[in-house]
Amino acid sequence: MGRRFRGESQHKVDNKGRVSIPASFRRVLESSDPNWQPGDNPELVIVYGDHRRQYLECFTMEAIEEVDAKIAALPRGSKGRKILERMFNGQSLPTTVDETGRLVLPAKLRQKVGLQGEAFFIASGDTFQIWKPETYDEVEMAEAEKLMEELPDDFDPMEFLDGAGGA
């Protein structure tokens, strides 16, 4: 497994759909692209999914290859495999970071998630997500706050790691 994405930031999206990727995210994309060489543009896959998905999820090449292997292990023709193939193969866009560290997001993807002047980037382990800032605040932050409200005031989130990974 390659390096992990960390952090969050907001960046301008120009009229052509170009948006700068956080520099630390670019380093992860480079280290997680087996074909990348210094001077090359790292590859990634943007999964946009169906109408229920309100963000773009960007996968490193290592991460998408791991997903592809898991999908291929499912029985051919099974409901799960069909759904996953549609999302990860059909409702996705293979792309590269340009020479200036930007992604060019096609109009179809920008319209799908409502990106106009700004994009909000948030790390999610071996992927990162791109949101319309207002949608992130309304949907994702509200959900996170709701989950935390269900826990006691003195709860330590590190408790979720107890027993993880067979330890």
- Nearest alpha carbon to residue 50 among 82, 84, 91, 106: 91
* Residue 68: CATH number of its domain: 3.40.1550.20
pLDDT at 84 over 80: yes
d(CA 165, CA 167): 6
Q: Quick: pLDDT tens for 37-69.
A: 988 999 999 999 888 889 999 999 999 999 999
Q: In what order do the strands lie in the sheet with 56-59?
A: 8-12, 118-124, 127-131, 56-59, 43-47, 92-96
Q: Region 86-103: what's the mean pLDDT?
A: 94
Q: Is residue 165 part of a domain?
A: no
Domain count, the chain: 1
Q: Is residue 166 part of a domain?
A: no
Q: Is residue 33 part of a domain?
A: yes
CA–CA–CA angle 16, 42, 63 (5° rounding): 110
d(CA 31, CA 36): 8
> Could you tell me the pLDDT band of residue 21, with boundaries at 50, 70 and 90?
very high
pLDDT value, residue 123: 95
Q: Is residue 161 part of a domain?
A: no
Give the residue numbers spanning the domain of 111: 8-153
d(CA 2, CA 33): 9
Q: Is residue 158 part of a domain?
A: no
Higher pLDDT, 165 or 109: 109
d(CA 44, CA 4): 14
d(CA 125, CA 99): 24
Mean pLDDT lowest among 80-84, 124-128, 140-144: 140-144
Residue 142 neighbours by CB under 8 Å, 6+ apart = none
Prediction pTM value: 0.87
